[in-house]
Each structure stands twice: as structure tokens, then as C-alpha cells.
Structure 1
């Protein structure tokens, strides 16, 4: 052993070394000779930018799983890739063009898409580099993009099959329209926000009354009805007014008409049960072209919709003089005119839910449009049943309820988007309006010819719209393996083992993958859906550029080291709950990395140059050796159990406690007496062998969390890569072994001595005598055999076993499970001075507690402050209470 670690751990050089080494050695390729396959497909990040902290969390979880399963000897594949992200990508590229004073329409479709591909090459390269920096052990040879040729073929095949089965159709429906991006978006891409707006109560004159009166202002209350709306500019599209059939107030209006304000057109008063009697006046205007409920009511009532909006959010020619005016400006002008003519009954402040485009935040307009839809009910039923059967499990299980609620109330899915960047809908048209769905222009020609139309390619026009991005990403678990071709990869790696994702895309993505997997593969796409929370700032707020609290994971990795960052993400990840990002925790995990490095360096420095790793000889193991082997076995068993439940935070904390506590703070310290003392060479050699064996196995458990640090240390002991080495096995030391019991007793005694010193305020540099009393002879045997180690661990001058010792007034007494511990403190401790210090400290603590109690018991504070602020103050109060109890215990000991 002639290699040594440097005196400090430098993450940057270690990380860059292993990123290159893993790449050069193809370390992450699957093992085709393994009997069992295990696969994960990465939730493809959008190609629109850098990896954010949510990606870092998601990818770290997957990498932990993949590295463990690889070490367990499976044929592991983790498929990386990116999503073309239709709307988001087109918006970004158009924004870049705007900087040059250009817009999309300055180019042909082909020219614009060529520019997007250029941008993708740049942005996609950044994302792949960031994934490598994070240490992701993906199979880069299988990297996929949703716009790859093979994946695009899968999209076309799926569209055609669904169309031929009648599950895709083109029709006129109410859709969510974004006037800014000028495209339809799906229901689940609409984010509803509570907004303070206005509720306008508008007088609609009864047609009979207006015939006898000269204007609206001369009408009495009996001559008009009042209709409440939040969108008065849409009234130009009103085709009726509606009441609930059970509303007794309006039974006399059956068969009557009212005059539509500003338009002076008579519209009927009708009845439908969708009307809420309690909202406003109990009367609603029916605008079928601009409201989903109105549209469905219009179908039931036989009403013809009337469009009043252009696609850019301005009013159209059906609004007369308001034509060409933006919707929100038109709202103001319409209200002004209604007020001047006497149509406004009243205007109230009104908080209501307003739909916004998740990408960009524009207010959505429901409007009638001809689009492509997936008839979803027949696809949703099997996907519901498969989760109910348990063949797919959500973890935590509570997310199954969310999945069920959405799937049970699912509506047909609008899949067409008015974009240029995306999978173009494979529908082809002739000038006479006839249409076919085909996988190519050549096939379209054949289909037209079969129907008796002799056409050539130039006479055919492909649909201008593209497909919703989620249409292609919903095929991801099998399209990445080469489907629709029946490849070896599909046979080996489908279905995948587990999907790791955030709860926010259960509807967008998870549900669609389940539906498509069952439909086209005849099997589930994965067996388990592991849902993790979001990463929020330490105050519980979502990360947002506008708020200014965004954390760049690369900054954290550069500042603290990637291993520290990864370990933090896992160690603070409660099951299914959000992570609160507290940067101060990263400093603690950086210290953990340094602890591992320095402990490993200590071990290497004390290995002779001729050292070789040998199997452990059970007959030569000492009690402290057997104890640490047992401690490892116990940690391994708990680690495996936690992994079976995907409790990564528990796994991380188990290995942290074992390495820092059992191994570094106890076993290494115990071994120093054997390595440096005048003990037998045999004992020294055994200690060294155990140190190395435990270090190697501990690195094996830590590696999935900290791949760089562990691979570097491991390389000083073994020629093989740690990432491909065998998962650690237990040593097989039972907890019933007498050696384990003895060492646990030694730990108890030393810990009690340490606690007594700390509570009394005896400084570490002050060594004192320790007297042990016990009727159990095991205690005297431990003290005799482990005296040197115990002296060092307990910071003592001497440790004596003496049942006949007579107590003095200056002695401090404590107890352990089978005896007493006495610290004679005469001459090394000033009792009076310490008492004065503690009394002063007690007063300060009580003052802090009283101040906090006044705050948290103040109703004004509790009601006005944010819940997280109140909780933080309560936590402070609990901490100060603990400090007070500790101080009181110390005072009690001194006064005794």
C-alpha cells in the first residue's frame, strides 16, 4: 500500500476525473449476461433550458436506485433523453428572434424549425453536460429525444391506429385558447388562480316592456331581468338567458324574450338545471361559443353558437364598433357604454377563479374551435382498473386517490396545437375537403387512389397543426426502446421497473403513459410510481424568478461539492412531502465528506507498503472487531429494508450515522490503541484488515448517494470500479454475540462520562479520574482490557473499577444500566464559579422563553403571521425550553 490520499478533499478535481473515467470505460452500459433486467426511463427534461433543482432531486433519486440495482448484479439500463416541449420551445426561440427584430412569420415553416433545431443542439448539449456533472449513471448510448426519427415514427403509428379505431376525431368543441401563444392548450395546462375582479349585474329588458317604453332608463324593475357576469365583453355572443327549472322566481318568464343590450336583438329565456340558483340573480347569459357549460347547455337546448373573439384576443366583426379592440380594453368600454345607457344595475367586487396558461401566464379564453381530440373514456377505464388491481402502485399511496379522481372525471383530450415546432398531425387533405390519415405523403396518395381519386403529391396538403407534446411523451416508456419495431430492448426492458416523478405531472404524463402502455403494449409501462414532493425555499415558498429565490443546482455543486448536494437532497427527502431547501445543511454534509476523506486517509497512512486485503480470520477477531462487524450488519439490514420502501432519507441517515458514529468516532478511535500501542503484530494486522473491510463495505452503501468521493477512495484499494462492484454482503455477526454486548456496555459507560462532563461544563482539555462501581464482573473485565481506548475516548487520566470507593462532597455521581460512575472533581472544577455562570444563563434563557411565549400566545400575531412563521417561532420556543432543562439539570448536579 504505497498510495496515499491528499491532505484535503477537493471535489472539483475528483468529480471531473471520474466523469471522464466512467465515460471512457463505458461504466454505465447494461450487463447483457445478467439474468434479471431492471430499467428506468428518465422523465425527459424540456429542451428549453438548464436543469433546475427539481430535476436535480428527481435525477438523484433515480441514480440512487440505478446504482444500487447495478451493484446487485442486474442488467440495468437507465435511458436518458429530452422532450421537444412544443409551446415552451417555440416561445423561447421566438423570444430570441425578437431580439434581432424578427418574428416567426418572417420565415417559412421549414426555415423556422431549422432555427429551433440549431437552438436545440446548443441547449440540449448544456442539459447533457449538467447531467454528467450531477454524476448520473445513465446509458448515454441510448439517449433519446421526442423528436428523433424513431420516436416520431411511433407518434405517427399511434395516431393512425387510434384514428382508425375511432378514438381520435376532428370536431368543433369548446377548447382552452391562449391568445398570446395563439394555440389551444389542454385542460390540465390551465392553471386556475384566485383573482379579485368585478361581478357586473346587467339589466336585460323584457322584449314586451321595451316596445312600450322609449329607453332602458324609463323601465321599472318589473320590466327587466338582471344577469350577472364577470365577462361583459362576451355578451355580444349571448344567444339566450337561462334560469334553473326549480327556481320559482322565474316561472312566469317561460316562453318570454329579452333584448340583448347594445345589440338590440331578442333572445329567449330558457331553463336548464346547470344554472346555480344562488349565484347572482339566478339568471345566467348563455354564450355557447365562449363557455364550456354554456356550450353544453346550448347543445341540449338547440342553440347556435356565435363567435365574438379573434384568435389574438381582440373582438371580431360580430361586435360592431368594438371589432379589433383587445378583450380587456373592450371590457372597460362596454361597461362604460352600458352605464351611460342605464343597463348597469350594480357592480360588485368579486373574487373568482381565472384560468391562465401555465406556460407564460396569459389569461385563457374558452372558445369554440375545430380541433383534433382523443376519445379518452375507453382508454381511461383499463388504466383505472390496473391501478385499482395493484399491478401499478403509487408511493405514497395517497396519490392514487388523486389519480382516480381525475381519471374518473376525464374529458376528451384536445391534442392539436397551432404551432410549427412539434409532430405535425398526419392528416392529409385535398382541395375538395376529403381527408385521409396516413404515416406519409406516399401512403396518403395510395389511400386517396383507393377511394377513386387520382392525385399527385403537390395536390395534397398536410394538416398545419402539431400534436400536444404530451402525446409523444406519453409513449416514452416503449418508444425509447424502438417501438413500433419489436426490438431486443423492448423484450428485455419493457415494462420498466419504477417511474420517479413529481406529483404535478400525474395527469399530464403518468396517466397518459399508463393508458398508452396498456393500449399498445398490452402491459403496464412500469410497476411502481414513486412520487416525490417539490423543492421549496426554507420558508416553504416555491422557487420563482419573480420572487428572486431561485437556486441554481450547479452553484450549490460548485460551492459544496456534488456529493454533498446529492446527499442533502436524499437525506432531507420525507416520503411524498416537499423539501425545504436550507443551504446551511449543505455545509454539514460537506463536513461529512471531509470526515470520510480524513478517516480514509488515516487508515491508508497506517497501512504498511506490503499491505494486501485478505479474508477476515474469525478466530483472530477481537471484541471491538466483532462489534463493528455487527454494527455494519445491523446498518445493512435496516438500509435494505428502507430501500425496499424507497425511503431514501432513512437510508442516507443510516449510513451517515454508521460512518460518522460507529466507524469513525468509535471503532477507529478504539483501534488507535492497537495500531500505536505496544500490542502484538497480529492484533495490529487484524485491526488494519477490519478497518479496510469496513471502509470498503461502507463505501458500497454510500456510493449511490456520493458516487464521486466513494469511487475515488475505493480506487486506492481496488482496481475495479466501485460503481460496478458487488453490493455489500453482511459479515454474519449475531447481536447475541457476547463481544457485541461488551462493546455496547463500553459505549454506554464512555457516553455517560462524556455527558456528565458536558453537563457540568468540564472543559475537554481537563482530564479527570473516573471511578466505576458495578456488581457485574463484565464491567471490570472491560475496564481492564480496553483501558487505553477508554482513557482516550472519555478524556480521563485514569479509569478504575472500585466498589469500595467512598464518595467525597466534590464528587459527581451518575448511573448506567448496571452500575455507577463517579467523577472526583476536586481541584479541577470551581463549583461556585460554575454555579454563578449557570444561574446567569438560566435568567437569560427564561427571558427568551417569556418573550417567545408572549408572541406565540398573542392572537393578533397568530392570525396575521404566515403559518410557517408561527411554526418557526414555536420551534424556537421548544429549543429554548430544552436549553432551560439542560441548564437546570447542570445546576441540580452542582448543588448536590
Structure 2
């Protein structure tokens, strides 16, 4: 059937997405071919396609389709992450809407509700990825909570524990008091909030004074409530003001706690008083200072529970009036902060701040960088607690070596420095989370056995609120196992009892506290822990499957730079630890997609772009091509609707070019090799195919998506549509039909990775090849090279026609005006051979090799030769010169005015960035206009 007149993206996208997948064309099915493997960064099961996903998955699909066309056995692993915190929050919100809550259910019943939610609502993003055209192997779709994946996660935990690379420790974590769980650095957002900077007097004990006679030290803090758990005051060891009191005691005014003045370089003599209160249980810097001062984590004071309410410290020194207060003011009631400030003020220990007008205030106003949980939305509390940690420092060594010796190639190379800086300073990785949804930690606890063989009486848990509990490792014997049965057997052997006795004690709440038992840890593993296994667990590990042997290591990982540490580096650690090889050979890191003004997109700014809306408006092919053409290594992408519209127009132009071919008897090629060609125009276009293929292959090898996209864009739009079809118009013989059909086929194959939908539709529509869809075609491999003579002739013709058309436009002549041109005699052979094209494209009614007559004329310089076009009698020379002169003066005036604004530092610094950007663009446009008008005046002679 003849092609539709109008290109309609929506009509073809759904059709081909279903056709490809239903025919299994995304599955690896070439056992004798070289494998090519990519795993997608698994989106959250709660997620929806956002513009970052659109970029990330477009780039992956471009690579997969390209390698598939090159004959590789391509596997693109697809799946979703269970997203522990995000998913649990979604289900809990649903319960809240029904006046219900999680803690009304058993753990098992709540998890059943999460699975029910997943079955009904989770994973909508996979359908959206299909709309984008992602050629993933949907038949092997993975989920991090699937049984086989869970088995891999548990095995990794157990094996790392056996090697001493996973351990339980008391350290500070980012604690979210709303979600009541530790969270990773990635889930912490820093906001600027208006707060205060309080100055307090801390009295010296035992009559000690400073050299200046003061009997106190001044400390300043933005968190006065934490003084309830202060354990030291730090001063710089070289600070002469305090050298005499180092090692002396402070008496904390509210608690009466006695503690030392310690030397530590963390205290900055130039900042404030140079003395810093140290609360190691509630500040990350203080934690390190406390360790250097000799405090063990188990000795550090904790003054808050899991809800961020004040609790008694182990020394019992917090006054009763503070107990139970929230850390901040809440629901109109003062919190611990307000009460601490009030009491310090009443006792004369508050040093008021005097403003510039002489007014006194309790605190100096400050803008404070404050950490918030990205999901809970409340201020994060550094909280001292027992958690499970991975020895990341040990695991980081092999990946660093792999990057150094080139087994892992990071692209762009500029990210290597960042990678090494983080890996060389890596901290222990907290992998436990206080949630119900996720991989439950495979650790069981019982009472520790004393030297006489008895067990300690204290057992199991310290409540932390919200129905969760945190087991105290000091009071428990730990059994780490891949199954409950194995853990029970370990416990039975340890306590020298039967497995049945362990089971009975576990089930009996009235059993004595000292009774042997094995109770599983309530916590689950950090989502990043399971996703770190993605490159090999998705291929069947720990079973040594054929898929694993064939597709590990993966070839390339495409990732946003923002998860370089949280996911990419951890995959490298786990892959090299458990597979003894790199997880992927190349790590490609792309930038962010930003708003048109360059701002980072966020819901709060209201500048988030919906990629599905863009697909509806412009088509998936246009969005994909935009992402690819704009992906320049090391740079972010600015959204630009004009470019999106331009790429939609590109698709339309290709569609119309195919319709022109169809109307002129040009159909699908029957040859992989270029057909024979004698005509210069055909030899030229075949050579241009070879040049474009080479340029694209070079770009792909260097992961230059922009250069590959722009190479095929330039060839398809400029060389083929604009020039070749114009050059052959009216002279389409059998040779030209064969060549044009072959070239169009090559365009469709080369463009397919970027624009799969329109290229597949045209490939099938232009020939009877339903059993040979484009997705299974071969990448072009022309054996011919560029024909130097044909290229020289056609390139000269194109330049001449372009110069002539430009001259007509500049001089106000209609495009169809027929003119006479005087050529140098040296061009006679070339003009004779191209006479038909000169007549049709250049609109020359006369070609002369005689000297041009005297008078005004346009001088066209093409490849160093001057062609003269007389203008006497064609236009009013005087009037045209006057018009051009006035237009040039106006353009120059505007250009210079804009230059003046841009050279004014006040404008550049104070104006909105978008206003400055517009002024620069306008200046460039006026400068180009002035240059064009100057050239037009010069043509008049």
C-alpha cells in the first residue's frame, strides 16, 4: 500500500513496540555471535519515567541497537528495584488514607500488602520505557525481591560476614526520625534554613582560669539542645589562648557533667572563640573528635530516641524536665532547644548577640546548611546506633586497580579523579535499614554465653519507636546463615541443645531471658546493597548459568554521574569480590537534563519536564534524537523545545523523502553492497555513505553520541534530502533508482539506533521484507570508498548553487530568477558534464566563458575560482545599494548597542541569567546580519 501522506508518530510507535516484543526480537538469539551486554540502572518500583530516565535509557538503547545491527548477540537486562523506603512509604500512605497504619499488622501481613500493591500499581515505568522504544529483553525482567535475587543477596551477606567484611558496629548514621530508619547520604538533601548561632559560657572547674583571668570558655553552636550530651570541649593544640587549660575540666551548666578540654585540630582558632563543644553521639565531626580523644563508641552519650525525643543518658545527668521533649519546637510547644536556651539565659550563661542597631538577641541570625531526609522531609539527626557495616575500604581496592590498569574504562576520563578521591577516602558502608520491606538481614541473635557456659540475662531489643526494634550486639550472640534452619542449627550447636529447644524458646514469650534462642534481626538491607549485585545476580548467580558465563562481565554501564558512588562503585566492589572480574568494561557517565535556563529541575521549582508529554507532542523518535544529539561528554543537557520541534521536522522530512522515492519508483534495495554506478551524482552519494559510516563508527567507539547523531543527521538531511534528491529529480533512470533505494536503506539502518520507530516503518513500507525487520538488519559495510572525482564535481556544484542562492537572497531576487554567469575557461569541462544540473538547480539561462561585461555584478568565489553574474538590467543597482546600506547601518547600531550592554559588568552581574543569555543571542544574530549585508554590498562591486 502507498505510504500515508502525513507522518504520524503515535500511529506507528505502539504498533512497532508490540511487534518487536511479541516476536522476541529483543532477546539474545545469536549463540555463535559475539555477546554484547548492558544492564539498565533499575528504576524504583514506585517510579515513573522522568527526563533523566529518558536520557539514560535512550543512550543505552542507541548502543544496544547499534551493536545488534553490527551482528552482536545483544542482551539488555531490564528490571526494577524494590526501593525499600519509597515503597514502604507508598503503602503506609495508602493505609493512612484508610485511617489505618502499618503497626496494626504483623510484619508478614504488611509485606503481603506491599506485594499486593506491586501487583496492582507497581512498575508502571516499564510500560513507559516501552513507549520510549527501549529494546530490553522483557522476557527476563528482573526484580530485586524475586526469590532467585533474594538468594543471591543473602549469600553475599553471609559470605562477606565469613570473610570479616561485614560486621556490626556502633557508629553515627543519618537517622530520619519520621521514617525511623537510617538512610544513606544519597537520600539526604541539604537545604538552607534561617537559624541561630548561640554563644554560651562553659565554666572551668576547680577554680582554673584562662590567662586573661576568665573562669569560663565561650562556645558557640547552632544546636544548643545537644549540650545535654556534651562530652568535651575541643581547642586547637596551637591556640595560645587555651594552651594552659588543655586537660582541665569543664562543668557543663545544665547537666553538671564534668568533662575535659581536649586538643584537636578540628577546632579552628579563626572561627568564633576557637573553642568547640563536642557531642560525639550527635555530630559526625564530633564523633571523630571523640574517638581521637579516647572515647569508644559504646561510651558516647545518646540523648535522643528514634523519634528525636530526649531520653536519659547512661550517666543519668539530664534533668527530668527535659525528658520526653522533642528536640525542636513542635505543635506549638517548646522543645529541648528552647528550654536549654531559656535555662542557660536564666543562669547567666547565655551571651546575647548585639545587632548593628544595638539591639540584643539570644542568638545571631544565621543561614544554616541543614540536612533533610529526601522522603521523610524532616531534619536528619546524626544518631549513634548499632548497625551492620561493610568494610568498603577493603572492597574498594580491586576496582581502583581495575581503573588504573584499564580493565574499567571510565568515560569521560575527567571522572576518574572524582572516582579515586572518593574510593581512597571511603568510609564503612552502613547497610542496615529499620524497615519491613526489603531483604531481611540473615542474622539471628541469642544471649551471649559466659565463661562458665551460662547465658546473659539481658536479651533482644532496644525499642526505637514505630514498631521496629534494633538488636543490641553487645548483649547477643550472632548467628549469620543463609536460612533460618541453618541459623537454628548453629545456635543449637553453640548452646549445646537441640534445634527443637531453640524453636520452643523462640516461640515462647514466657521463656526465661537466659534461655538459648535465635531471633532474626528485624532490620532489612539497604537497597543499594542488593542493586550492587545487578550485573551478575540478574544473570543467574550464584548458579553458574550459561547466561552468566556468556554475558559477564557486561560490556558497558550507562549511568548518571550522581550515582557513581552509591551504585556504580558498589557494583564494581561486589562484582570483583564475587566474580573475580570487573562488572563492566566501560562505565559511561552522562550529565543531567536541565531546564531551558540551565537550572536543575525540581518539583519545588515547577520546572520538571514530563517525557511522556514530550513524546505525545513530538514523538519518541524526536525525543530520543534530541537526547542523543545533545549528549556531549562532560556537559549537561538543556531542554529546548525548538530543537525538539526541529528533530520532529527531521523525521517528517525523511518521511517525505521516502514518499518522493516511492512516487518515483524507488524501492527497497535487494543488495547489501552498493549497486554499480557510473553517473557522478550516484558515485558521489555512495561515497558519502562510506564517509558517514566511518564517521559514525569512530564516534560510537569513543561514546560520542552527539557526533554519531549529527553525522547521520547531516548526511540524511543535507546530502541526501536537500541535494541528492534535488540533483536526480527529472533524471531518475534505472541506475539512479537502484542507487537511491540502496542509499535510503543505509540511512534507515544508520538512523535506526536513534529513531527506531520511523526507520522501521519506512524499512518495511518501502519493500516486502516483513520477515526481515530493520531491527535484525546489518550495519552498513560499504566496500567502496569515496570517489574523489565525483565528490569534487558534486561538491563544487553544491557550493556554486549555494553561493548563487545566497546572492539572490541578499540582493532581493526571487529564487527562480534566471541569470547569466561568466565562468573561467578552466571550468568548461566541469560545466559541460554538469550542464543539466546547472540549468535546473542554478537557474542559469546562459553559461559563458567570455569576459564579463563592464558594470555592476555579483562575484561568486567557489574553490578559488571567480564566477561573475552581471546585474545591469536585473536590479536597480542604486536603489539596492541604498537599501543594503540603510539595513547595514540599522543592524550595526543594534549590534553595537547590545555589545555595550554586554560589556557593562553591572548588567551582566545583576540581570537575570536568561536576560543576559538573550542579549548574547541577539548580539550574535545582529552581528551575523551585519556581516551578511556587508557581503551583499561587496557583491554589487
TM-score relative to the length of structure 1: 0.93
Inter-partner Cα distance in structure 2 for 1:390 and 1:194 = 41
Structure 2 CA distance for partners of 1:820 and 1:859, relative to 1, 3 Å: closer
Which residue of 2 is the match for residue 445 of structure 1? 488
Q: Residues 636-675 of structure 1 correspond to what in structure 2 (within 5 A)? A: 636-675=693-732
Inter-partner Cα distance in structure 2 for 1:867 and 1:543 = 16
Displacement of 1:66 in angstroms is 0.4
Inter-partner Cα distance in structure 1 for 2:108 and 2:647 = 50
Which residue of 2 is the match for residue 733 of structure 1? 785
Structure 2 CA distance for partners of 1:33 and 1:267, relative to 1, 3 Å: closer
Q: Residues 157-196 of structure 1 correspond to what in structure 2 (within 5 A)? A: 157-196=155-194
CA contact (8 A) 1:176 1:366 kept: yes
Deviations 1:181-229 (A, max 9, x none): 1111234443444555322111012234599xxxxxxxx9712210111
Deviations 1:711-742 (A, max 9, x none): 01100224111001111112403343x22222
Which residue of 2 is the match for residue 337 of structure 1? 343
Displacement of 1:358 in angstroms is 3.6
Out of 751, 758, 776, the position equivalent to 1:724 is: 776
Inter-partner Cα distance in structure 2 for 1:321 and 1:851 = 70
Out of 203, 206, 209, the position equivalent to 2:204 is: 206
Displacement of 1:80 in angstroms is 0.4
Which residue of 2 is the match for residue 306 of structure 1? 301
Structure 2 CA distance for partners of 1:348 and 1:890, relative to 1, 3 Å: same
Out of 858, 872, 888, the position equivalent to 2:904 is: 858
Out of 221, 228, 232, the position equivalent to 1:240 is: 232
Which residue of 2 is the match for residue 320 of structure 1? 320
Higher share of residues assigned helix: 1
Which residue of 2 is the match for residue 680 of structure 1? none
Gaps of 5+ in 2: 313-317, 330-334, 354-362, 448-458, 460-475, 507-517
Displacement of 1:60 in angstroms is 0.5
Displacement of 1:829 in angstroms is 2.5
Structure 2 CA distance for partners of 1:523 and 1:620, relative to 1, 3 Å: closer
Which residue of 1 is the match for residue 39 of structure 2? 41
CA contact (8 A) 1:54 1:535 kept: yes
Out of 408, 413, 430, the position equivalent to 2:446 is: 430
Out of 568, 571, 580, the position equivalent to 1:522 is: 580
Which residue of 1 is the match for residue 881 of structure 2? 835
Structure 2 CA distance for partners of 1:338 and 1:836, relative to 1, 3 Å: farther
Inter-partner Cα distance in structure 1 for 2:17 and 2:319 = 63
Q: Residues 626-775 of structure 1 correspond to what in structure 2 (within 5 A)? A: 626-675=683-732, 684-716=733-765, 717-719=767-769, 720-736=772-788, 738-765=789-816, 767-775=817-825
Structure 2 CA distance for partners of 1:792 and 1:314, relative to 1, 3 Å: farther
Inter-partner Cα distance in structure 1 for 2:384 and 2:868 = 86
Query: Match of 1:539, SS?
Result: coil
Q: Residues 133-282 of structure 1 correspond to what in structure 2 (within 5 A)? A: 133-209=131-207, 222-282=214-274
1:89 equivalent in alignment to 2:87:
yes
1:379 equivalent in alignment to 2:409:
no
Displacement of 1:626 in angstroms is 0.3
Displacement of 1:661 in angstroms is 0.9
Moved more, 328-337 or 559-568: 328-337
Inter-partner Cα distance in structure 2 for 1:31 and 1:38 = 12
Query: Match of 1:207, SS?
Result: coil
1:369 equivalent in alignment to 2:413:
no
CA contact (8 A) 2:852 2:868 kept: no
Structure 2 CA distance for partners of 1:806 and 1:843, relative to 1, 3 Å: closer
Structure 2 CA distance for partners of 1:7 and 1:85, relative to 1, 3 Å: same
Which residue of 1 is the match for residue 833 of structure 2? 785
Q: Residues 806-817 of structure 1 correspond to what in structure 2 (within 5 A)? A: 806-817=852-863
Displacement of 1:440 in angstroms is 1.2
Displacement of 1:615 in angstroms is 7.5
CA contact (8 A) 1:775 1:818 kept: no
Q: Residues 526-537 of structure 1 correspond to what in structure 2 (within 5 A)? A: 526-537=584-595
Deviations 1:820-877 (A, max 9, x none): 2222334443334433433443343234224323322222222223556534432332
Displacement of 1:305 in angstroms is 1.8
CA contact (8 A) 1:746 1:782 kept: no
Moved more, 701-710 or 256-265: 256-265
Structure 2 CA distance for partners of 1:619 and 1:250, relative to 1, 3 Å: closer
CA contact (8 A) 2:56 2:558 kept: yes
CA contact (8 A) 1:50 1:127 kept: yes
Moved more, 104-113 or 409-418: 104-113
Displacement of 1:34 in angstroms is 2.8
Moved more, 701-710 or 296-305: 296-305
Which residue of 2 is the match for residue 454 of structure 1? 498
Deviations 1:508-528 (A, max 9, x none): 001100010110000000000
Inter-partner Cα distance in structure 1 for 2:814 and 2:231 = 87
Inter-partner Cα distance in structure 2 for 1:96 and 1:823 = 78
1:848 equivalent in alignment to 2:894:
yes
Inter-partner Cα distance in structure 2 for 1:260 and 1:335 = 14
CA contact (8 A) 1:188 1:507 kept: no
Which residue of 1 is the match for residue 920 of structure 2? 874
Aligned residues: 870
Query: Match of 1:102, SS?
Result: coil
Structure 2 CA distance for partners of 1:789 and 1:191, relative to 1, 3 Å: same
Inter-partner Cα distance in structure 2 for 1:122 and 1:828 = 75
Displacement of 1:131 in angstroms is 1.1
Structure 2 CA distance for partners of 1:11 and 1:266, relative to 1, 3 Å: same
Structure 2 CA distance for partners of 1:578 and 1:855, relative to 1, 3 Å: same
Out of 525, 535, 546, the position equivalent to 1:477 is: 535
Which residue of 2 is the match for residue 625 of structure 1? 682
Displacement of 1:787 in angstroms is 2.4
Inter-partner Cα distance in structure 1 for 2:575 and 2:538 = 13
1:349 equivalent in alignment to 2:365:
yes
Q: Residues 565-644 of structure 1 correspond to what in structure 2 (within 5 A)? A: 565-607=623-665, 613=670, 620-644=677-701
Deviations 1:546-579 (A, max 9, x none): 1111111111011111111111111111112100
Displacement of 1:27 in angstroms is 1.0
TM-score relative to the length of structure 2: 0.89
Gaps of 5+ in 1: 212-219, 676-683
Segments of 4+ moved more than 6 angstroms = 615-618
Inter-partner Cα distance in structure 2 for 1:770 and 1:535 = 52
CA contact (8 A) 2:91 2:117 kept: yes
